[in-house]
């Protein structure tokens, strides 16, 4: 079986660990590793970046799609990028193309797959791709093109039950399945760090992450130490910029910049908890990264996928933003705190096993191709 993933940011993940690639690309690195262990030929079509060795990316075949800066804006998609993508697909002849993160390119790939008689599978990267909110973040044209890509998809893979329910209302006859995010966890040292000293927050600075809400929590808990890991990728909206400026002035908050993936485990293992303030998520990779280090999570139920935190007691999951400060104190002072920490690590090992989830994914792919 020959599977091609499409992700323009994947090249940055290979070339520059400090570049903020986002959750879908982080997931992809795990899927690539998992599929490779299943003896599947895996390819990733990504941006053409100078000086990147496309023949040696941890054993994965990287395919340069196009040079991002080449061509005239707006027109370059028609006369350069789409033809280049088409030629590469024909050259490498994948049997399946999988893409995540809703965009104009979703529709392009779905159409090319239909023309070339290739199975197209879409993996949902965020709740807003399934419930009509995407149009608030993109143009109406891009949103409509993305919706058509779902119609052409042979299967849609979701991260949680909410996404599946929303999509089943739109496409009641389509193959729509849930496969949780995979995560590799070492079977070695299961010892939980007993020396924790701060509350962690991690993410790209953008409106989705609710920086104003983070600032209000930091301000309301002056005796708690907060460490914020992240940086801006695109221009921030005014509210987020102002909130970030306020956070910088808080004596109990420390901004430590963007962390490479190698730095994240140490950052989380020294934290009492991971705080999530987002307005929406799909299944945040940072939750799994925290659980793997035995670090509980505090978040609102609207971003708690399938109420995983709430039902499995892996931290605190509350309804309202105003409840988050009390939830933080409740968790930090919980007499069973370290029992919760151990439960977090066991949960990841039991439910997000890389090999098992990769097998489930391949089973779905095989079924839709029959």
Is 262 part of a structural domain of the chain?
yes
Look at residue 1 and tell me whether its pLDDT is greater than 80.
yes
Flag the least confident range among 25-39, 253-267, 324-338: 25-39
Do residue 81 and residue 156 come from a single domain? yes
Do residue 136 and residue 204 come from a single domain? no
Residue reference for tokens 């909110």? 133
Look at residue 184 and tell me whether its pLDDT is greater than 60.
yes
Is 191 part of a structural domain of the chain?
no
Is 26 part of a structural domain of the chain?
yes
Q: Tell me how many domains the chain contains.
A: 2
Is 187 part of a structural domain of the chain?
no
Alpha-carbon distance of 196 to 356, in angstroms, equals 32
pLDDT given for residue 12 in this prediction: 84
Alpha-carbon distance of 70 to 83, in angstroms, equals 13
Alpha-carbon distance of 93 to 3, in angstroms, equals 9
pLDDT given for residue 218 in this prediction: 98
Do residue 88 and residue 135 come from a single domain? yes
Do residue 133 and residue 217 come from a single domain? no
Which of 97, 13, 23, 22 is CA-nearest to residue 47? 13
Q: Quick one: DSSP state of residue 190?
A: -
Alpha-carbon distance of 211 to 230, in angstroms, equals 11
Measured CA to CA in angstroms, residue 157 lies from 91, 148, 181, 206, 281 at distances of 27, 16, 11, 26, 16
Widest CA span in the chain: 63
pLDDT given for residue 135 in this prediction: 82
Look at residue 354 and tell me whether its pLDDT is greater than 70.
yes
Alpha-carbon distance of 101 to 123, in angstroms, equals 8
pLDDT given for residue 316 in this prediction: 98
pLDDT given for residue 57 in this prediction: 55
pLDDT given for residue 136 in this prediction: 76
Is 193 part of a structural domain of the chain?
no
| Average of per-residue pLDDT values in the chain | 92
Instruction: Quick: pLDDT tens for 40-68.
Output: 899 999 998 877 666 555 567 889 999 99
Is 335 part of a structural domain of the chain?
yes
Do residue 208 and residue 153 come from a single domain? no
Flag the least confident range among 51-65, 166-180, 245-259: 51-65
- The first and second tokens of residue 67, run together, are 């040079």
Which of 14, 22, 10 is CA-nearest to residue 204? 22
Instruction: Quick: pLDDT tens for 113-143.
Output: 999 999 999 999 999 999 988 887 788 888 8
Do residue 134 and residue 33 come from a single domain? yes
| Res. 170 pLDDT band, cuts 50 70 90 | very high
Do residue 163 and residue 271 come from a single domain? no
Give the contacts of 324 (CB within 8 A, at least 6 positions apart): 213, 217, 275, 277, 298, 300, 318
Is 189 part of a structural domain of the chain?
no
Alpha-carbon distance of 17 to 21, in angstroms, equals 9
| Res. 274 pLDDT band, cuts 50 70 90 | very high
| Res. 188 pLDDT band, cuts 50 70 90 | low
Do residue 145 and residue 219 come from a single domain? no
Do residue 150 and residue 259 come from a single domain? no
Is 212 part of a structural domain of the chain?
yes
Look at residue 254 and tell me whether its pLDDT is greater than 80.
yes
Instruction: Quick: pLDDT tens for 68-89.
Output: 999 898 899 999 999 999 999 9
CATH number of the domain that residue 211 is part of: 3.40.50.2000
Burial class (CB in 10 A: 0-12, 13-18, 19+), 159: buried
Phi, psi (5° rounding) for residue 161? -65, -35
pLDDT given for residue 370 in this prediction: 79
Which residues constitute the domain of residue 347?
A: 198-351
């Amino acid at each position: 079986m020959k599977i091609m993933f499409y992700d323009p940011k994947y090249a940055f993940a290979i070339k520059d660990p400090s570049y903020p690639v986002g959750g879908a690309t982080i997931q992809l690195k795990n899927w690539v590793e998992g599929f490779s262990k299943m003896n599947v030929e895996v390819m990733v079509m990504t941006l053409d970046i100078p000086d990147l060795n496309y023949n040696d990316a941890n054993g994965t075949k990287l395919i340069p799609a196009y040079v991002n800066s080449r061509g005239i804006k707006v027109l370059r998609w028609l006369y350069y990028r789409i033809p280049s993508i088409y030629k590469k697909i024909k050259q490498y002849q994948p049997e399946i193309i999988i893409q995540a993160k809703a965009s104009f390119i979703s529709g392009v790939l779905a159409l090319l797959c239909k023309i070339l008689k290739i199975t197209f599978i879409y993996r949902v990267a965020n709740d807003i791709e399934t419930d009509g909110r995407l149009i608030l973040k993109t143009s109406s044209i891009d949103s409509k093109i993305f919706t058509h890509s779902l119609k052409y998809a042979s299967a849609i893979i979701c991260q949680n039950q909410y996404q599946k329910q929303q999509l089943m209302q739109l496409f009641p006859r389509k193959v729509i399945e849930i496969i949780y995010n995979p995560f590799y966890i070492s079977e070695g040292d299961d010892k939980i760090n007993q020396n924790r000293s701060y509350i962690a927050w991690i993410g790209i600075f953008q409106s989705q992450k609710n920086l104003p809400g983070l600032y209000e929590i930091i301000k309301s808990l002056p005796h708690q130490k907060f460490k914020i890991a992240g940086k801006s990728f695109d221009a921030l909206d005014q509210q987020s910029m102002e909130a970030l400026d306020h956070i910088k002035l808080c004596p109990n908050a420390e901004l430590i910049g963007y962390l490479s993936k190698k730095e994240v485990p140490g950052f989380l293992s020294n934290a009492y908890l991971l705080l999530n303030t987002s307005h929406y998520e799909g299944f945040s990779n940072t939750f799994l990264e925290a659980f793997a280090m035995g670090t509980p999570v505090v978040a609102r139920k609207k971003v708690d996928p399938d109420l995983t935190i709430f039902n499995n007691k892996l931290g605190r999951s509350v309804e309202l933003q105003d409840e988050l400060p009390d939830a933080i104190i409740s968790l930090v002072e919980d007499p069973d705190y370290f029992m919760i920490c151990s439960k977090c690590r066991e949960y990841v090992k039991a439910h997000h096993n890389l090999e098992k989830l990769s097998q489930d994914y391949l089973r779905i792919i095989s079924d839709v191709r029959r």
